[in-house]
Amino acid sequence: MNAMLQRNPLYSLCAISFVLFFCVDQCAGQASVAKAKPGTSLDILSEPFAYPDGRPSARYRLAAKDHGIVFEHGSGPGGCDSLGARDIWVWQHKGTYYMHYDGAGARGWLACLATSSNATSWEARGPALNLGAAGRNDAASASYGVTFFNGRIWHMFYLGTPNTSPPPDLVPAFPYLTMKAEGANPYGPWKKRYDITPFSPRPGTYYSATASPGHVIPGRKEFLMFFSASTDSPILRTLGIARTTDLDKRWTIDPRPIVPPAEQVENTSLYYQEQTRTWFLFTNHVGLKNGLEYTDAIWVYWTEDLEKWNPDHKALVLDGSNCTWSKEIIGLPSVVRVGDRLALFYDGYRGKGIPEGAASHMRRDIGLAWIDLPLITDGK
């Protein structure tokens, strides 16, 4: 009977059809599984942006999905951010999200506080810091407060400067120093530690004009801070590492930056992905258009070794092409994990074009974009 069935053409046709159907179904299932793979992968940019002065651009994109504006300037108490809200530092502690942002008001730029229970709806709380007295290094601005909790007290490293642009904008001007304050909880109050100057600009170095605070990472034997550095005339922006074994002492700065100054990047927010043992450093890039320099994009660098960074290992994350509301200016990033996504906070400008001079820093709002985890670089 088996031999008869095997010789039957109809049987053979049915058998072949079954095998083909099974294979197609299995392949489709595998394709579906592959397509549904979670995370965000690198895409190769077919035409990397070419800047008129030849400054480097990213060859890859690790695209974020924009959520839109989550905090508008002018909502802070006492008009503390009536002229703008920007330069964000976000962290989570015991179920609450905290945001330090630079509030531009009539008295100048100050680190202000906002809080949230879900990372999307924020309540402005007012200034976290006040201006220093005349003669202090933070007499003109006490802004961009980066926090670190050592399990006992909260440490804030903030940008101080005695100089600004003329009123009404009062944009902080060189030199940019890293200064320190302490508090018992994230709400403050913050006590300034004028007896400690973590670090400051040094003539003849890559941080001769800017030595402003960045993300603090605890190491096995010391703390590392990934700080913003720049020179003046010409302005070349990069990132460096400062080190200390005691948060109440002065920091030592590495003699070379982690990426070349030609990269033109500033500010840091790091994320460590345990499953791939990879560090991702988010930073804002300064672009050039029509003779104007401005923050035009969020970039990310990645490495498995905090001490070694390859400038080719970078990707474009957010710019005017995938931001829904700010088509030219994309400013300082801060990232925090929320479930299986990375929340990327940034500042932007809703107006048209790029304002000239100090005005390019004003009237910004704060946006949010999401990046699905894990981040996939595929060995690039």
Contacts of 301 (CB under 8 A, 6+ apart): 259, 280, 281, 283, 309, 310, 311, 313, 314
Residue 67 in any domain: the answer is yes
Block residue for tokens 């800017």:
210
Residue 374 confidence (pLDDT): 98
**Cut 0.85: pTM above it:** yes
Contacts of 338 (CB under 8 A, 6+ apart): 119
Nearest to 312 by CA among 262, 275, 270: 262
Contacts of 36 (CB under 8 A, 6+ apart): none
Nearest to 67 by CA among 356, 360, 341: 341
The answer to whether residues 261 and 238 touch, using CB atoms and an 8 Å cutoff, is: yes
- Number of structural domains found in the chain: 1
Q: How many CB atoms lie within 10 A of CB 22?
A: 10
Q: How many whole angstroms separate alpha carbon 153 and alpha carbon 164?
A: 31
Nearest to 283 by CA among 317, 321, 332: 332
Residue 37 confidence (pLDDT): 72
CATH code for position 334: 2.115.10.20
Domain interval for residue 320: 51-376
Residue 22 in any domain: the answer is no
Q: How many whole angstroms separate alpha carbon 282 and alpha carbon 302?
A: 9
Phi, psi torsion values for 7, nearest 5 degrees: -85, -10
β-pair partners for 61: 43, 316
Residue 379 confidence (pLDDT): 67
Cis preceding linkage at 234, omega within 30: yes
pLDDT in tens, the chain (380 residues): 434 334 444 334 334 344 334 444 454 444 444 455 789 999 999 988 999 999 999 999 999 999 999 999 999 999 999 999 999 999 999 999 999 999 999 999 999 999 999 999 999 999 999 999 999 999 999 999 999 999 999 999 999 999 999 999 999 999 999 999 999 999 999 999 999 999 999 999 999 999 999 999 999 999 999 999 999 999 999 999 999 999 999 999 999 999 999 999 999 999 999 999 999 999 999 999 999 999 999 999 999 999 999 999 999 999 999 999 999 999 999 999 999 999 999 999 999 999 999 999 999 999 999 999 999 998 67
| 70, 73, 81, 349, 355 from 363: Cα distances, Å | 15, 7, 9, 7, 10
Long-range pairs for 163-168 at CB < 8 Å and ≥24 separation?
164/108, 164/109, 164/140, 165/357, 165/358, 166/358, 168/83, 168/106
Q: How many whole angstroms separate alpha carbon 244 and alpha carbon 222?
A: 6
How many residues in the chain?
380
Residue 337 in any domain: the answer is yes
Residue 25 in any domain: the answer is no
Residue 12 in any domain: the answer is no
Residue 7 in any domain: the answer is no
Enter the DSSP assignment of 2. H
Residue 21 in any domain: the answer is no
CA dihedral angle for residue 303, residue 151, residue 92, residue 373, rounded to 10 degrees: 30
β-pair partners for 94: none
Block residue for tokens 């399990």:
151
Q: Pull the structure tokens for residue 81.
A: 């951010």
Phi, psi torsion values for 361, nearest 5 degrees: -95, -5
Nearest to 174 by CA among 126, 105, 236, 259: 236
Residue type, 187: Y
Residue 36 confidence (pLDDT): 56
Residue 221 in any domain: the answer is yes
